[in-house]
Structure 1
């Protein structure tokens, strides 16, 4: 359900909520650091922002909400999440309570897309979304990290109230196509559901900026996960760069264009304004069927499992 005014790419703010010592991404960003990012993105028409209370226990939402106050609310869209493991208690209002905190931090009275962050208990949490959708505090409802059976069950629960899942947000990249293999992307296409792909660049692994001689920050969580597989993905990175060279595009832009070509809306984490033009470039690229097949063959040959520790298999 790609709305008319929804960009082909969403901007992710996971890294905006990193710890003061940069434990996850290797840096800690302030609102002052990020203001140029918001300015450049809004000027470029990249106006869909994805965040979550779980990103730094509200730190990402705080920064995003502060920086977007300079813009009319109707000029951008907000996507944030209810994370079951962070619920304060065991009442029938846990989703409403977390949503209230997000609304306050984001300086708004409604969220364009509100997600159940993971399928900890589909039967328990999904029904709590119904009154929030009916109240207008949530415009669209989505599920994240859900497998096909869980997505269908959420749709059944919501369907009793005349509501449906309108978005799915799962990990999808050249190196991790589990949602495609499980039939989730096809299901979304058939039911007018937008599939949002996160970790399209595998936290920078497929950006073309890192290699054996220039690894990811060694003292970060992403460095500890990905640096060991840099030799395995070197051929894939080279393939991305070679395809990009034909259209004056970077490896990151080609990897993003691949996700778009597969029928997804990529969520790209951006922490510097200089990368905003890159997203516009990615949206303009056209990949041939042969190039897509070549990239998928290289990705398969890399034999790298990038499933996150928080993820259950989709298939």
Structure 2
């Protein structure tokens, strides 16, 4: 990426910011606005965590709008912005991708987007070529594909390759409970081709933080509550191992789960809504697990038998 900002080991996610369809209130049970989130953004820059991931679809643009309100006050070269084109909300216009990008740029107060993603592989042949003029005109610095399986990633790379471009980033659900991208060979493909693998839902929307258990479930009526509350008892042994390993490193379960994702060669996206979470993410980037610790966590993760595929995803295996 031709920007003065350097790439951190962790990206910060703004999915849970704002409200509305696919927004923080419905998915996470949060109700957060600029007043509460400004200190979070400021703390991130202080800690060198300057890569922010969002999408036009999150809260019907409200996530981008809140983030953009903060970005407009900063030197643009200090902040890396990652946002997404979501085919499911595209118009019928032949310029649908350009129009969605224009909306994102306006809300984010940015002329250039550092990483622009196709959010879901609704139609690889239809949508991938539309990235080419955006990249050639300098409106986007690098190209990513999210929720794509290995065949779809390879096909997108072929289409872009004909124009002298490439897939620079892949963003898939990846955690100790959900390693299908690894089993499918996607992580290996990314390493072999110089592609950054962004791991989203590394903490399974809070299920791997140790904050929630059978006695302390997620908020009722939220997307994550519906998905994880039935499985909290099954993941207790994994949480206990995260705690035990954390004590050896003076770290929390969430920091250990994040450090695991970094140890696997991925760039985890950590959703942040509090200053404390930013500080913990920055510390997690400095945490180094042993091979034995990584192996133990993966064995316990597999033994839970919990399958955390979500409604918008395809299984990568």
**When the two structures are superposed, what TM-score results if normalisation uses the length of structure 2?**
0.97
2:66 maps to 1:63: yes
Distance 1:296 1:29 in 2: 34
Deviation at 1:304, TM superposition (A): 0.2
Give, in angstroms, the shift of residue 150 of structure 1. 0.4
1:228-307 alignment, distance < 5 Å: 228-307=230-309
Does the 8 Å CA contact 2:8/2:51 hold for their aligned counterparts? Answer: yes
2:202 counterpart residue number:
200
| 1:44 aligned residue (22, 28, 47) | 47
Q: Deviations over 1:258-299 (max 9, x none)?
A: 000001000000001111110111111111111111101111
The equivalent of 1:17 in structure 2 is: 18
What displacement does 1:70 show? 1.8
Structure 1 unaligned blocks of 5 or more: none
Quote the residue 2:123 is aligned against. 121
Find the partner of 1:132 among 113, 131, 134. 134
Deviation at 1:92, TM superposition (A): 2.7
Taking only aligned residues, the RMSD between alpha carbons, in angstroms, comes to 1.5
- Offset at residue 219 of structure 1 (A): 2.8
- Count of aligned pairs between the two proteins: 314
Partners of 1:194 and 1:265 within 8 A in 2 = yes
- Aligned-pair distance for 1:85? 0.6
Cα distance in 2 for residues equivalent to 1:201 and 1:33: 22
**Per-residue deviation at 1:216?**
1.2
| Structure 2 spans left out of the alignment, 5+ residues | none
2: CA distance, partners of 1:59 / 1:207: 26
Aligned match of 2:146: 144
TM-score under structure 1 normalisation? 0.97
- The answer to whether the 8 A contact 1:92-1:128 is kept is no
In the TM superposition, structure 1's runs of 4+ consecutive aligned residues that sit over 6 Å from their partners are: 1-4
Q: Which residue number corresponds to residue 168 of structure 2? A: 166
